[in-house]
Chains A and B, each alone.
Chain A
Amino acid sequence: AQKITQTQPGMFVQEKEAVTLDCTYDTSDPSYGLFWYKQPSSGEMIFLIYQGSYDQQNATEGRYSLNFQKARKSANLVISASQLGDSAMYFCAMREGISGGSYIPTFGRGTSLIVHP
């Protein structure tokens, strides 16, 4: 079973509009961390935002916010006021608190976002 599911292979948004990219996860560990990365066509994976399983508040970083719904096991990325430069692949990832071993990150399949002018 996939640990990270991103159900939207592609998304389109108008410039200056907000967009939500979906991410659901599967873990039985109470301790885990969730990450979003952006990958433009140049290839570099850029860290955007982090949410810990015990964090009481949803994470925010500038125009990025994470809609964390723990009971639903979802961690959706919200990008407000989209810009043309936001066009990229977006990956959701998770680190679980596996005792006794390395916390190997697991990545979702990604969502391709295209921002239209």
Chain B
Amino acid sequence: DTEVTQTPKHLVMGMTNKKSLKCEQHMGHRAMYWYKQKAKKPPELMFVYSYEKLSINESVPSRFSPECPNSSLLNLHLHALQPEDSALYLCASSQEDSGIKETQYFGPGTRLLVL
């Protein structure tokens, strides 16, 4: 089963709201990723967790706060977002984060609109 689930599918929030995106995988993968994707652009890496520890933060603004409560779950906490943060947020997982063969499996994404 190569399934990564994400909730919610759609999210509309105001600039003062606090919300969270959730990602879950049950493939026993030890690496999890958050990507941001604007329309007709490639996904941009935001964060990488490896064995539940944050291993990469691609200079993401602090209004995005990742959390990995356990090896199956990855959250992205959102606070005081800007309209330009509106995008598709994709979660992915892979067996490990190192290795040229590591295939990432993606979730369906959360479409976020910030008003």
Contacts and interface: CB of A to CB of B under 8 A. Distances in A.
Nearest to B89: A43
Contacts of A112: 40
Contacts of B115: none
Contacts of A104: 45, 48, 56
B108 A43 contact: yes
B: interface residue count bin? 20 to 34
Interface string B33-70: 00000001111010010100001100000000000000
A50 B103 contact: yes
Interface string B71-115: 000000000000000001010100001111111111111010000
Interface string A27-49: 00001110101000011111100
B100 A97 contact: yes
Nearest to B106: A45
Interface in B1-54: 2, 40-43, 45, 48, 50
B101 A52 contact: yes
Contacts of A103: 97-100, 102
Interface string A97-115: 1000011110111101000
Contact of B100 (A47, A53, A107): A53
Interface of B: 2, 40-43, 45, 48, 50, 55-56, 88, 90, 92, 97-109, 111
By Cβ-Cβ distance, the 4 closest A-B pairs, closest first, are: A33-B100, A107-B42, A45-B106, A43-B109
Interface of A: 31-33, 35, 37, 42-47, 50, 52-53, 89, 91, 95-97, 102-105, 107-110, 112
Given A33-B102, A35-B103, A44-B106, 18 more contacts: A33-B101, A37-B106, A43-B88, A44-B108, A45-B90, A45-B106, A47-B2, A50-B103, A52-B100, A52-B101, A53-B100, A95-B100, A95-B101, A102-B56, A103-B98, A105-B104, A107-B43, A110-B41
